[in-house]
């Protein structure tokens, strides 16, 4: 196992009817900005309940954080925060709203040019303060509710923004708030959580048994509860397990002490930025082809994944790996998520644009080994077409 630090300060407030506790979770004299997306939380009544539970506090609203939150939109929220001397941010929504709120938390007290906060990637932000934030999560997918990361879109790129200052102070996870999700978003969320797990697990062995077995447990849970949730949107037990699985897929626990490979995410981000493909969909396209291209580098973990997650124990190594990849693709498709680039209206000649974008964003040494060149990414995309 590799050396690691593990510290996750986010309080999780999980279960039905927990919104009333917002009153105790936020200081009585706080000046609160409630941030949300395109209106789902208005239509389904969540916003109204949140506002009611904030009582007599000074409360302001910022609406319109779009999927794949845009820097320019978030800077309008930063202005409002500065103008109204806001001192607590409350995100009510999915990954985009939670991520956008994290960026606002870092940018509002930042004296320099906020666009400079976008270039630091996994190295972390050069900031010493951020506003405290909480979340009411309405979409199980990104894990943003219990991690220190965000992804902000700007000028044709998707920029990871990370800082330990951006862990939410608390996240309310009430599975019933996700009942109104369209099937497409539920399916995207299952795929996203699945791929978060495997990007921290299907790498090379590190003898991290707790992390591996937890990863396998999350994957098996997603395989069980994903289809039930789609078929029975108001099945509380399935939904509760989906919500908690998605949180655990990216709260740092399974990624501690093990190698990471974020190549599927990095290639997927370019597909979203260039073609508007949903984040989950982009991952379903890229992952099977990354595994085909990287079979040798990932051989031992692919075999472990085949046996422990898909119960594949017979056949040659090659056959077991191929079966595991095929089963994973079939799982995504069974959720209604298409796994080929051509099915999203992309033309073959546009693969070159994706490779150029990867190069422009410095994504030229991907994978757990740092040996995945733009040429390999091109081959992955051609295979995924």
Binding region for Zn ion (CB under 5 A): 192
180 contributes a contact to ligand NZQ by CB under 6 A: yes
Q: Are 93 and 37 in contact (CB under 8 A)?
A: yes
Q: How far is the CB of 337 from Zn ion (least distance, A)?
A: 13
257 contributes a contact to ligand NZQ by CB under 6 A: no
The Cα–Cα gap between 261 and 200 comes to 6
Q: Alpha carbon of 238 to those of 151, 211, 228, 230, 308: distances in Å?
A: 28, 23, 7, 10, 22
Decide the pairing of beta strands 149-154 and 157-162: antiparallel
67 contributes a contact to ligand NZQ by CB under 6 A: yes
Taking the least distance from each CB to ligand NZQ, the nearer of 99 and 212 is: 99
Select from 265, 294, 329, 361 the one that contacts ligand NZQ (CB under 6 A).
265
Q: How far is the CB of 282 from ligand NZQ (least distance, A)?
A: 9
70 contributes a contact to ligand NZQ by CB under 6 A: no
149 binds, among ligand NZQ, Zn ion, none (CB under 5 to 8 A by kind): ligand NZQ
Which residues are bridge partners to 127 per DSSP?
none
Select from 70, 138, 211, 281 the one that contacts ligand NZQ (CB under 6 A).
138
Q: Stretches 184-192, 216-224, 226-234, 325-333: which one binds ligand NZQ (CB under 6 A)?
A: 184-192
Chain length of the chain: 385
Q: Which of residues 320-359 bind ligand NZQ (CB under 6 A)?
A: none
Q: Is the dihedral of CA 338, 97, 201, 313 positive or negative?
A: negative
163 contributes a contact to ligand NZQ by CB under 6 A: no
Question: Residues with Cβ < 8 Å from 373, sequence gap 6 or more?
Answer: 364, 365
Q: Stretches 2-10, 37-45, 164-172, 234-242: which one binds ligand NZQ (CB under 6 A)?
A: 37-45
119 binds, among Zn ion, ligand NZQ, none (CB under 5 to 8 A by kind): none
Which DSSP letter does residue 145 get? G
Q: Which of residues 213-252 bind ligand NZQ (CB under 6 A)?
A: 250
Which among 265, 277, 258 is positioned nearest to 212, based on CA atoms? 258
DSSP-assigned states of every residue in 85-142? T--EEEEEESHHHHHHHHHHHHHTT--S-GGGGGGGGGG----S----EEEEE-S-SS
Q: Is the dihedral of CA 5, 105, 28, 137 positive or negative?
A: negative
Q: How far is the CB of 347 from ligand NZQ (least distance, A)?
A: 24
Q: How many binding residues for ligand NZQ (CB under 6 A)? A: 36
149 contributes a contact to ligand NZQ by CB under 6 A: yes
Q: How far is the CB of 356 from ligand NZQ (least distance, A)?
A: 20
Q: Alpha carbon of 352 to those of 50, 357, 374, 375: distances in Å?
A: 46, 9, 10, 10
250 binds, among Zn ion, ligand NZQ, none (CB under 5 to 8 A by kind): ligand NZQ
152 binds, among ligand NZQ, Zn ion, none (CB under 5 to 8 A by kind): none
Q: Tokens 């930025």 identify what position?
A: 273
Select from 10, 101, 135, 144 the one that contacts ligand NZQ (CB under 6 A).
144
Q: How far is the CB of 227 from ligand NZQ (least distance, A)?
A: 19
Q: Residue 3 is encoded by which pair of tokens? A: 């050396």
> Three-class SS of residue 234?
coil
203 contributes a contact to ligand NZQ by CB under 6 A: no
Select from 104, 141, 238, 306 the one that contacts ligand NZQ (CB under 6 A).
141
CB count within 10 Å of CB 165 equals: 19
Q: Which of residues 277-306 bind ligand NZQ (CB under 6 A)?
A: 279
Select from 35, 91, 150, 324 the one that contacts ligand NZQ (CB under 6 A).
150
Q: Alpha carbon of 37 to those of 172, 194, 214, 240: distances in Å?
A: 17, 24, 32, 23
175 contributes a contact to ligand NZQ by CB under 6 A: no
- Give the helix, strand, coil percentages of the chain, each rounded to 5: 55, 10, 35
DSSP-assigned states of every residue in 199-229? HTTSS-----HHHHHHHHHHHHHHHHHHHHH
Contact residues toward ligand NZQ (CB under 6 A) are 37-41, 44, 67-68, 93-97, 99, 138-139, 141-144, 147, 149-151, 158, 177-178, 180-181, 185, 188-189, 192, 250, 265, 279
């Amino acid at each position: 196992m590799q050396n690691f630090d593990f510290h996750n300060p986010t309080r999780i407030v999980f279960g039905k009817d927990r919104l009333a506790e917002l009153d105790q979770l936020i200081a009585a004299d706080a000046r609160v900005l409630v941030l949300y997306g395109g209106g789902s939380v208005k239509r389904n009544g969540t916003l109204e309940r949140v506002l009611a539970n904030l009582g007599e506090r000074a409360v302001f609203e910022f609406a319109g954080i779009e999927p794949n939150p845009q820097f320019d939109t978030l800077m309008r929220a930063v202005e409002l925060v500065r103008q109204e001397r806001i001192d607590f941010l409350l995100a009510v929504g999915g990954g985009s709203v939670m991520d956008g709120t994290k960026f606002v938390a870092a940018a509002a007290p930042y004296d320099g040019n906020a666009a400079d906060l976008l270039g630091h990637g996994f190295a972390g932000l050069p900031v010493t303060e951020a506003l405290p934030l909480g979340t009411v999560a309405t979409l199980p997918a990104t894990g943003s509710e219990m991690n220190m990361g965000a992804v902000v879109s700007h000028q044709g790129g998707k920029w990871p923004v990370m800082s330990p200052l951006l862990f939410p102070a608390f996240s309310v996870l009430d599975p019933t708030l996700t009942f109104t999700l369209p099937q497409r978003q539920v399916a995207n969320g299952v795929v996203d959580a699945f791929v978060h797990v495997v990007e921290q697990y299907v790498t090379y062995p590190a003898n991290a048994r707790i992390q591996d077995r937890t990863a396998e447990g999350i994957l098996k849970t997603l395989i069980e509860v994903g289809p039930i949730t789609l078929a029975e949107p108001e099945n509380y037990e399935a939904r509760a397990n989906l919500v908690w699985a998605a949180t655990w897929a990216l709260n740092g626990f399974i990624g501690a002490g093990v190698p990471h490979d974020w190549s599927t995410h990095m290639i997927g981000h370019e597909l979203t930025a260039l073609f508007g493909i949903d984040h989950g969909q982009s991952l379903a396209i890229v992952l099977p082809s990354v595994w085909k291209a990287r079979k040798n580098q990932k051989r031992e973990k692919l075999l472990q994944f085949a046996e422990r997650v898909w119960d594949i124990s017979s056949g040659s190594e090659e056959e077991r790996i191929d079966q595991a990849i095929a089963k994973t693709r079939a799982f995504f498709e069974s959720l209604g998520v298409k796994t080929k680039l051509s099915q999203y209206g992309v033309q073959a000649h546009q693969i070159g644009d994706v490779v150029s974008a990867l190069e422009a964003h410095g994504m030229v040494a991907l994978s757990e080994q740092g040996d995945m060149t733009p040429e390999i990414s091109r081959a992955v995309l051609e295979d995924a077409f």
